[in-house]
Amino acid sequence: MKSKKLNQIIKVISLIVLLLGGYTVYDTYSENTTIKIANWNLHVFGTAKSSNSDLMNFYASVIDDYDIIFVQEIRDKSETAFPKLCAMLQNYSCLVSGRAGRTSSKEQYGLIYRDWINITNFKDFNPDKQDRWERPPIKTQFQIKDYSLVIYNIHTKPEDVKKEMDFLEDAVNDNGNVMILGDLNADCSYYNNAKETEFDNWKWLISDDEDTTVSATNCAYDRIILNNNAYREFKSYGIYKDKISSDISDHYLVWVEIEVD
């Protein structure tokens, strides 16, 4: 079966689950009191990288340490690379957004989550009739035991960070436990976090003086932002850098741990 067909099946099954209320019976269930959520911009993740077995094994070995992970910058017209990565992960389910972008270069967001986690709502803002973002965000509501969490994931356009962040703030519903994470390009020449006001009442976990880039630049492009409700369950966060070089990605993985019990 071709991977593109597998990806379509994943979408159909996930849609059916959502229409039925998002609840599925699984064979395994986590006894952990906390979960780890991550975001990783894999930098032009497509058929070239997915054909490299060493690279794919490394991606899978890192991803396997997290309960929910968003994969960004999937650029793959064939839509085979992400399903191939998903197939390497045991006891995980996957969803993928639509291909987005104003030029011929299109990107997708990939979502990977453990089987015992339920998704009760998944919204892809693409296509966006108002054309507010180069790559419109996705919104996912997770049910983890008795804990409900909404995550917005976005990869902003570097030249339009302030405008896109402003649009995102307007689109976000602040009720409940809410998190924003992704490659926001929210630092250095693209965005002055100390000066701008977007999400000022939220908790920015990664500080402006930290570095989430593999290159020589010292920029906190990748961000994790929690509203006050979600921050009450915050335990720890980090930037995973171990063995990540430029051939793997130009971004490090960022993660946050929250209490769910």
What is the pLDDT confidence band of residue 97, given thresholds at 50, 70 and 90? Answer: very high
What lies within 8 Å, CB to CB, of 130 at 6+ separation is: none
* Range scoring the smallest mean pLDDT among 26-35, 111-120, 176-185: 26-35
pLDDT tens figures, 155-166: 999 999 999 999
Compute the CA torsion angle 145, 90, 120, 124 (nearest 10 deg). 140
What lies within 8 Å, CB to CB, of 6 at 6+ separation is: 83, 87
> Is 175 a residue whose pLDDT tops 70?
yes
Q: What is the CATH number of domain 3-14+34-249?
A: 3.60.10.10
pLDDT of residue 8: 52
> Is 27 a residue whose pLDDT tops 90?
no
What is the pLDDT confidence band of residue 251, given thresholds at 50, 70 and 90? Answer: very high
Angle formed at CA 9 by CA 8 and CA 15, multiple of 5 degrees: 90
pLDDT of residue 29: 55
Q: Where are the alpha helices (DSSP H) in 70-197?
A: 81-87, 161-171
**Mean pLDDT calculated for residue range 196-210:** 98
> Is 169 a residue whose pLDDT tops 90?
yes
Helices H / strands E in the chain, number of each: 6, 12
| 19 compared with 97, residue with greater pLDDT | 97
pLDDT of residue 45: 98
pLDDT of residue 30: 62
* Range scoring the smallest mean pLDDT among 16-25, 143-152, 162-171, 226-235: 16-25
User: What b/e string do you get for 165-192 counting C-beta neighbours within 10 Å, with b at 16 or more?
Assistant: bbbbbebbeeeebbbbbbbbbbbeebbe
What is the pLDDT confidence band of residue 6, given thresholds at 50, 70 and 90? Answer: very low
> For the chain, what is the radius of gyration of the CA atoms?
17
What is the pLDDT confidence band of residue 76, given thresholds at 50, 70 and 90? Answer: very high
pLDDT tens figures, 109-140: 999 999 999 999 999 999 999 999 999 999 99
Average pLDDT of the chain to the nearest whole number: 91
Looking at residue 252, its amino acid is Y
pLDDT of residue 41: 98
> Is 20 a residue whose pLDDT tops 80?
no
> Is 13 a residue whose pLDDT tops 90?
no
pLDDT of residue 4: 45
> Is 232 a residue whose pLDDT tops 70?
yes
Q: Please report, for the chain, the start and end positions of each structural domain, with discontinuous segments joined by +.
A: 3-14+34-249
